[in-house]
Amino acid sequence: MTLRTLLAYGLTVGVFTTLLLFTVHQSNLSHVGSPGGNDRLQTNLPTKNTLRYGEQLTETGRKDEKSASISCVPQKKFVFIKTHKTGTSTTINIFQRYAIYNKLKVLMPVGQGPLSWPFPPAENEYVHMPDEKYDALIHHFVYNKTWLLSKFPPETKYISIIREPFSHLKSQMNYFKLSKVLDIQGHGNPVKVFLQNPWQYRNRSETFFPHVNITWDGTRNPMTFDMGWPAERADEEKEAHKYISKLDADFTLVMILEHLDESVVLLRRLMCWELRDVLFYSKNKNPRSYPYKKYVATPEELENHRGWSAVDYMLYNTFNNSLWRKISAQGPGFYDELKYFRRIKSDVSNFCSKTKKGRQAMVVAPSKWNPEFEVDNTYCHYITRTRTYSLDQKIKGRRYTKKELTYTVIDQIIYYRLLRKGLPTFKNQHEANAAGITGLRRKPKRMEIAPK
């Protein structure tokens, strides 16, 4: 047999073998795809290859998360809209500490407490920076996008916090003494009495404050009011829905009090902050105990409240859904970090509840979510502050003067006291004193017009 014949024979055998293998492969594919038999069940069984591929996907997700974390740039320009009775006494501490440690220029009120209410502050009511440029706002302020854009750059992150509306109603009723306003005193549970028919109290719950020409209702949509929706537009639900949709687009994050740990972990990720920045003290006890604090409403009472405060429920549902949507986009490591966050928060809170001056610092070891950091006496002092006043003075770099304190914004409790005594309302103690009104911070019976 010649060489040419051998080559031709080999080529023929090779082609035939290839065609045979291809035919068998196609036949197997067709058989697997056909109904019936054990072969159909086998298609649902994971193979080593599919298991390895799944592992690769998970690992890829982890690598993407790690890569995103490495490339993350800390956001140091933010506005925190401090809403009323929503857990902001706890959460403002996070933002105050971040401002202190990062030496941020905070847009501060002249007096202590709120920046303003309900309109943006007048020129003499906030501390002006030489260049009128600010990094952060963290005090009570009714959201006003137009004014904020005049003080903060477009890349500023907007953050707030809200809570479930019925629990919020109970807190509002207690803190602002709304049973007096509604004239349903003498009942152990004014919330229950009110929710039998909220609409019959409308003339009393809607309160007009002459000094700002504004109506406020402490029982109806008060959270959405803090977010910029007028109280007198409570029935305009279609327009309110459009407004809340704009809020959802404006805000980087609206935290939910009932899911505070999840909210704070998400805050850390979205702002590219460190773990030490967002820890909060978990040993604080709320001293405001009242008889109906744990009251569970009946289905009928809840239905009445949903109808009465419909816009607040719309606000809560929107941002509760938004929270979980943003969490689901974080990847598989979020809940691992959440578990870690809770453990470190507990450890740090326990340490700071016992720490004393001169004690050796606690060292938090590095993890995939944080570098190593120390919890020293200064950190413990900051994180355990329960009132904004203390850290505000640290941000200011000095104590408030007596004159500055007279510019503290008067809250709604004192407005109610003034109105019940037939007196005018004022923005702050300075204006009240100029009109001869004294005793604003005392008991109502001692509030009076000073003799001229």
Least confident of 6-15, 216-225, 294-303, 432-441: 6-15
Rg (CA), the chain: 31
Looking at per-residue pLDDT, the higher value among 437 and 441 belongs to: 437
Q: Are 190 and 173 in contact (CB under 8 A)?
A: yes
Residues 349, 93: Cα–Cα separation, whole Å: 14
Report residue 89 as tokens.
Answer: 């006494």
Report residue 37 as tokens.
Answer: 């038999």
CATH number of 74-401: 3.40.50
Q: Are 409 and 386 in contact (CB under 8 A)?
A: no
Query: What is the structure's pLDDT at 107?
Result: 97
Q: Residue 386: pLDDT band by 50, 70, 90 thresholds?
A: confident
Q: Residue 289: pLDDT band by 50, 70, 90 thresholds?
A: confident
Q: Are 426 and 432 in contact (CB under 8 A)?
A: yes
Tell me the per-residue pLDDT of 96-118, one tens digit each, with 9 for 90 and over: 999 999 999 999 999 999 999 99
Report which of 371, 346, 380, 376 is spatially closest to residue 361, judged by C-alpha positions.
376
Q: Are 191 and 295 in contact (CB under 8 A)?
A: yes
Q: Tell me what percent of the residues of the chain surpass a pLDDT of 90.
A: 71
Residue with tokens 């591929």: 53
DSSP string, 295-310: PPPPHHHHHHHHHHTH
Residue with tokens 């069984």: 45
Query: What is the structure's pLDDT at 392?
Result: 95
Please state, in angstroms and as integers, the Cα–Cα distance from residue 145 to each residue in 105, 121, 154, following that order: 19, 14, 11
User: pTM score > 0.85 for this model?
Assistant: no
Residues 191, 169: Cα–Cα separation, whole Å: 8
Report residue 131 as tokens.
Answer: 């260049």
Q: Any idea where the domains of the chain sit in the sequence?
A: 74-401, 410-449
